[in-house]
């Protein structure tokens, strides 16, 4: 565990000491720096973001969808996926910027790169099961329809559809983040 491990409650504790004793810990920032972030150095602003920036209502629904679809996949706990997606939005965009700085290719609160979406579609087909099909089937033809999209089309969808963007951010987390 790194110095920046965060406590996460599974259930409502009766008191602070009980919460500390029961709460699992994990190193979000270490995982983010190693597996998700590609260019940003670790700064005090990033460390503070995971503590201070609230998740806005327009991001909560998409996070709910992503956790419903991918929570528990590959043994990745739903509670942790939720917290990771919340924190990724905080450090990647402050929940303000949905187009990457300097017009980089990343899109959404979670700054998902179209290559990340393409990679998941090409190399993690097992993740795109019935829950994914139920949610995105009519919209995009599900997994098969999205797999046919070009890089540019995926980039636009990541900007236009926060639920889809959160889902692709979740695939990255589930596939790469460590305990």
Residue-wise pLDDT for 12-21, tens only, equals 444 544 544 4
pLDDT in tens, 126-177: 999 999 999 999 999 999 999 999 999 999 999 999 999 999 999 999 999 9
- Give pTM, 2 decimals: 0.85
- pLDDT category of residue 37 using cuts at 50, 70 and 90: confident
Give the span between the Cα atoms of 166 and 158, in whole angstroms. 9
Per cent of the chain over pLDDT 90 is 74
Who contacts 30 (Cβ-Cβ below 8 Å, separation ≥6)? 2, 4
């Amino acid at each position: 565990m790194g110095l920046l491990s965060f406590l996460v409650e599974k259930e409502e504790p009766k008191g602070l000491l009980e919460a500390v004793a029961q709460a699992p810990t994990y190193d979000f920032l270490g995982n983010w720096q190693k597996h998700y972030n590609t260019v940003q150095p670790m700064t005090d602003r990033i460390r503070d973001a995971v503590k201070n920036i609230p998740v806005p209502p327009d991001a909560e629904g998409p996070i709910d969808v992503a956790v419903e679809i991918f929570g528990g996949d590959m043994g990745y706990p739903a509670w942790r996926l939720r917290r990771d997606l919340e924190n990724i939005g905080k450090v990647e965009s402050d929940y303000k910027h949905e187009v990457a700085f300097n017009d980089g290719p990343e899109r959404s609160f979670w700054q998902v790169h179209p290559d990340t979406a393409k990679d998941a579609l090409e190399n993690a087909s097992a993740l795109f099961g019935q829950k994914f099909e139920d949610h995105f089937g009519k919209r995009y033809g599900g997994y098969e329809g999205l797999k046919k999209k070009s890089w540019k089309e995926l980039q636009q969808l990541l900007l236009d559809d926060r639920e889809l963007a959160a889902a692709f951010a979740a695939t990255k987390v589930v596939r790469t983040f460590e305990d």
